[in-house]
A and B are shown apart, each in its own frame.
Chain A
Amino acid sequence: MIWIGDVLVSRGEGGVYKERMLGGARVWDAHRSKLSALYHVGTGVEITQGMQVLYLGAANGTTVSHVADYVEVVYAVEFAPRPMQDLLEVSRRRKNIIPIMADAARPEYYAPLVEAVDLLYQDVAQPEQAAIALRNCAFVKTGGFLILMLKTRSVDVRKEPAEVFQDTIDALTAAGLIVQESVWLAPYHHDHAAIVCTKPSG
Chain B
Amino acid sequence: MQSYWFGDVDEERCSPFDGDVNSCVDRIRSISARMDTFIPLDWKQSVLCRTCRDRADYISRLQAVCIADAERSIREQYSGKDAELLQMVRTLDEIDTVINLLSERVADWYIIRHPTFSRKYRRTPAHVLVKTICEKSRGALGRVAGEIGHLTDTRTALAKEVSARANKVMPNTSELIGGLVAARLLSHAGGLLELSRLPASAIQVIGARTALFAHVKTKSPSPKHGIIFQHRRVHNAPKEVRGKVARVLAGKLAIAARLDYFRGVAVPEFLNPAQERIDAVGKERKS
> Which A residues are within 8 Å of any B CB, using their own CB?
73, 81, 84-85, 87-88, 91-92, 95-101, 107-109, 111-116, 135, 138-139, 157-158
How many residue pairs bridge A and B at CB < 8 Å? Answer: 84
B33, A108: Cβ atoms closer than 8 Å: yes
Q: Which residues of B contact A88 (CB under 8 A)?
A: 67, 70-71, 74
Interface residue? B14 (CB, 8 A):
no
Interface residue? B111 (CB, 8 A):
no
A116, B73: Cβ atoms closer than 8 Å: no
User: Contacts A101-B66, A115-B42, A139-B40 given; 4 further ones with Cβ under 8 A?
Assistant: A81-B74, A88-B74, A100-B70, A112-B3
Q: Which residues of A contact B41 (CB under 8 A)?
A: 112, 114-116
A15 CB, min distance to chain B CBs, angstroms:
20
B62, A158: Cβ atoms closer than 8 Å: no
A73, B71: Cβ atoms closer than 8 Å: no
Could you say which of B38, B66, B73, B77 contacts A113, with CB atoms under 8 Å apart? B66
Q: Which residues of B contact A98 (CB under 8 A)?
A: 59, 62-63, 66
A95, B59: Cβ atoms closer than 8 Å: yes
Interface residue? B213 (CB, 8 A):
yes
Q: Give CA–CA (A73, B67) in the complex, Å.
A: 15
Interface string of B27-49 (1 = CB under 8 A from A): 01001111100101111000000
A95, B60: Cβ atoms closer than 8 Å: yes
Q: Which of B4, B41, B70, B217 gathers the greatest number of chain A CB atoms within 10 Å?
A: B70
B70, A73: Cβ atoms closer than 8 Å: no
Interface residue? B216 (CB, 8 A):
yes
B4, A112: Cβ atoms closer than 8 Å: yes
B44 CB, min distance to chain A CBs, angstroms:
10
B32, A111: Cβ atoms closer than 8 Å: yes
B217, A158: Cβ atoms closer than 8 Å: yes
B3, A138: Cβ atoms closer than 8 Å: no
Interface residue? B279 (CB, 8 A):
no
Q: Which residues of B contact A73 (CB under 8 A)?
A: 59
Interface residue? B175 (CB, 8 A):
no
Q: Give CA–CA (A111, B41) in the complex, Å.
A: 8
Q: Which residues of B contact A87 (CB under 8 A)?
A: 70
Given A85-B74, A112-B5, A116-B40, the answer on whether A101 and B59 have CB atoms closer than 8 Å is no
A111, B78: Cβ atoms closer than 8 Å: no
A101, B69: Cβ atoms closer than 8 Å: yes
B67, A99: Cβ atoms closer than 8 Å: yes
B62, A113: Cβ atoms closer than 8 Å: yes
Q: Which residues of A contact B217 (CB under 8 A)?
A: 158
A112, B66: Cβ atoms closer than 8 Å: no
